[in-house]
Amino acid sequence: MISFRLMLESEYAGYLAYFIPDYAAEIAANYGLSGADALAHATGEIAENLPLGVDTPGNVLLCLIDSESAEHIGYLWYQPDAKGRSAFISDFHILPDHQGKGLGKLAMATLEAELSAKGFEQIKLRVAEDNRRARHVYEATGFRVTGTNMSKTLKPR
C-alpha cells in the first residue's frame, strides 16, 4: 500500500538534489544543450515554477510512503486545476532502491483514487520519449498518448 504526505520544508533540498540533475539530464538529451547549460536551465525553471518551494500556491509536492514499512520511496509533484477538474503531474519518481517492484503502478492507482474522490476527472502529464520506464508505468496504468511534442534546434546565422 502506498500513501502520500505533504513534503516538509526540510525535505525540499533533498528533492531538489534528485530533481535538478535528473531534469537537466533530460533537457540535455532531448534539446541538445550542454550539461552546464541544461543544469542552468533546470535550476532556473525550478526557481520560476516553485519560488516558495513546498509552499508555492497551485502546486502539491508529496512524498510517497510505503504504508507497511513507513519508508519514503519517492516523490510526486502535481498542479491541481479545480475548475478543469484535472491534475497535471510535473514530476513522479520512485527512488532507485524501490524501482522495479510495481510501486510506481501502485502509486498511480492510489493517486487516481484520491483525486477521483476529490472530484477530479483527469490526470495529465508529459513524459520524455526516451523514458521507457516511465512510459511503461503510465501506459500500464491506463494513460494514453494525446499528442507529441516536437522540437528543432536552429543554428545561429
Confidence class for position 136, pLDDT limits 50, 70, 90? confident
Residue 152: what pLDDT? Answer: 78
What is the per-residue pLDDT for 129? 78
C-alpha cell at 95: 527512488
Q: Could you read off the pLDDT of 52-86 as tens digits, one per residue?
A: 999 999 999 999 999 889 999 999 999 999 999 99
Q: Work out whether the CA dihedral 92, 84, 49, 31 comes out positive or negative.
A: positive
Q: Where are the beta strands (DSSP E) in 1-148?
A: 2-6, 60-66, 71-81, 86-94, 122-125
The count of C-alpha atoms lying within 13 angstroms of the C-alpha of 17, restricted to the half-sphere facing its C-beta, is: 6
What structural domains and CATH numbers belong to the chain? 2-140 (3.40.630.30)
